Amino acid sequence: MPRRKPSWLKHLCTGRLKARKCAGCREWVAVDEQGPVWEAYDPGVLDAKDLTTAIILERPFTRIHQYTAGLLTLQNPCGARGISPDGQYLAVHECHRTPISLKPFTPVRRKPVPRWDPGIHLSDEDVRLFTELWRRPL
């Protein structure tokens, strides 16, 4: 019986990825339609513990890179290169196989930028010296 569409799938499927139902098993998947080959991924996010399972089961996976709150790119790791314990990954979807993970995707939260805080704090003596030198004729 197919699962319902995960409510958080809309956060994962922005821009490059599209939420679709798999034609073979009718499960919800994230489809990458921008490459020469369309690839479908299980919507659950893999973490460090799940990567071990994916490697043992020989399930291909790709890494999610988040640049800002809305921009995602996918990068296929080559061997051990590109794999890190703090990364987020998506496993390639294989019909009628249980997904390795059902953890929801959480986008990066941008910290608000302060209006103006240069981080420089001048003493009264520094300000007095600056104004004196600024007003001095050349």
How long is the chain? 138
Is 138 a member of any domain?
no
Under 8 Å between Cβ of 106 and 115: no
* Rounded Cα–Cα distance for residues 2 and 20 (Å): 13
Instruction: Read off φ and ψ for residue 57, nearest 5 degrees.
Output: -80, 0
Q: Which residues of 35-58 are buried (b: 16+ CB within 10 A; e: fewer)?
A: eeeebbbbbbbbeeebbeebeeee
Is residue 99 included in any domain, yes or no? yes
Domain total for the chain? 1
Residue at 116 is within a domain: no
- Residue 122 belongs to some domain of the structure: no
Answer whether residue 129 is part of any domain: no
Q: Is residue 73 part of a domain?
A: yes
Residue 26, in any domain of the structure: yes
Question: Is residue 31 included in any domain, yes or no?
Answer: yes
Please give the residue range of the domain that contains residue 45: 9-110
User: Whole-angstrom Cα distance, residue 43 to residue 99?
Assistant: 8
Each of the 138 residues of the chain gets a pLDDT tens digit; together they read 557 788 878 878 877 788 888 888 888 888 887 767 788 888 888 988 888 888 888 888 988 887 765 677 788 887 767 788 778 889 999 888 888 988 888 777 766 666 666 677 888 999 899 999 999 887
Q: Which of 53, 42, 52, 56 is nearest to 91 (CA)?
A: 42
Structure pTM? 0.69
